[in-house]
Amino acid sequence: MNTEMTDRFGGVIRRWAIAMANIERSGPREAELWIGIEKGIDRTVFDLSLGRFEGFGKDEYEAVRAAAHKLADEMLKGGEQE
């Protein structure tokens, strides 16, 4: 992911990653809540790509999603909690 994308969508990437990581480290009841949050973020970012919001399309959606997955993996390996 390029720096412009990270600068532009860093907050979304971080929040999406937090939701993904919390699904893995939560108990069953909390995991259900985090799954709902993660799906909501995914759907919102996907909808932006459908509307090509400010040039944001399929490639950008996939890049933001991949960056969120990568950050979530780093959070899980590093033990970062939020």
| pLDDT (0 to 100) of residue 2 | 58
Q: Among 56, 54, 68, which Cα is nearest to 16's?
A: 68
Structural domain including 47 reads 3-78
Is the pLDDT at 80 greater than 80, yes or no? no
Using one digit for the tens of pLDDT, what is the confidence trace for 33-47? Answer: 999 999 999 999 999
Nearest of 76, 73, 68 to residue 6 by alpha carbon: 68
Q: Return the ∠ at Cα 25 (arms to 61 and 78), rounded to 5°.
A: 75
Total number of domains constituting the chain = 1
Tell me the two tokens of residue 36: 């709902």
pLDDT one-digit tens code per residue, 12-68: 999 999 999 999 999 999 999 999 999 999 999 999 899 887 788 899 999 999 999
Distance between CA 82 and CA 75 in Å, rounded?
Answer: 10
- Quote the pTM value: 0.84
